[in-house]
Amino acid sequence: MMVSVRRIFLIIRCYSAMQFESTYPKEIGLGDSNADIRVYIGNRPKMPEYAELTSLSAVNIQQINEISAQCGNGWRKVFNVFAKLLFELQPTSFTRWQAYGDWQSLRDHQLLRAHSQCALIFGLPDVDNQSNHGVDNPKAVHIICGRTHAQSLLSQVDMMWLNEEFAISKRHRLIICPYFDYRQLSNVKILFLAELIHSLS
């Protein structure tokens, strides 16, 4: 049986797409898939809808509050610290949204929504991928929460350690910082992290 040229072309195209997807795995987490600020965390909410995620999914304040209520105070702190960091970054080239008067308003109306320019990713960036960790956005800054979570990457990336808690790689646009918790990443350390992000702009 003769196979049309067009059918052969489609088969090759589909095979190529499958090969690309297997080479560059999708990021899984919450927020904007084209985010400028991409935070990587070693755990995920213990709720069925998030355990089964296969990509980045935008959420709103109701869903954030639901995660905080069902998964413990630690998650509320993660979201609040993230909002505080984004508040310190505005207005910059990373934040094209409107200016907010306080971090609570930013959390309630912007954090991890579609087109919010921020994402909370369950896992680690793909440093083997030469195309900015598999992300289409070349301006993206990759922030890993916690030195322990970043441990498996330390042999692959030449990080410059600024102190015991913070490290940076300008080549990879990658920062290691303390976990998003009030004690580990205090307000003073959030300001320092914001300065490191600015240095990559």
Q: Which domains does the chain have, with CATH numbers?
A: 27-199 (3.40.470)
Q: What is the pLDDT of residue 145?
A: 97
Per-residue pLDDT 10s for the chain (201 aa) are 444 545 544 433 443 433 333 334 578 999 999 999 999 999 999 999 999 899 999 999 999 999 999 999 999 999 999 999 999 998 766 666 678 899 999 999 999 999 999 999 999 988 766 455 445 678 899 999 999 999 988 888 889 999 999 999 999 999 999 999 999 999 999 999 999 999 997
Q: What is the pLDDT of residue 23?
A: 38
Helices (H), the chain: 5-23, 48-51, 61-71, 73-89, 103-109, 147-150, 187-199
Q: What is the pLDDT of residue 20?
A: 34
Q: Residue 197 is which amino acid? A: I
Q: What is the pLDDT of residue 68?
A: 96
**Other Cβ atoms within 10 Å of 95 Cβ, number:** 20
Residue position matching structure tokens 């409107």:
98
Q: What is the pLDDT of residue 8?
A: 40
Rg over alpha carbons for the chain, rounded to the nearest Å, is 19
For residue 96, give the nearest of 17, 143, 32, 159 by alpha carbon. Answer: 32
- Could you give the CA distance from residue 189 to residue 200 in angstroms, rounded to a whole number? 17
Q: What is the pLDDT of residue 138?
A: 82
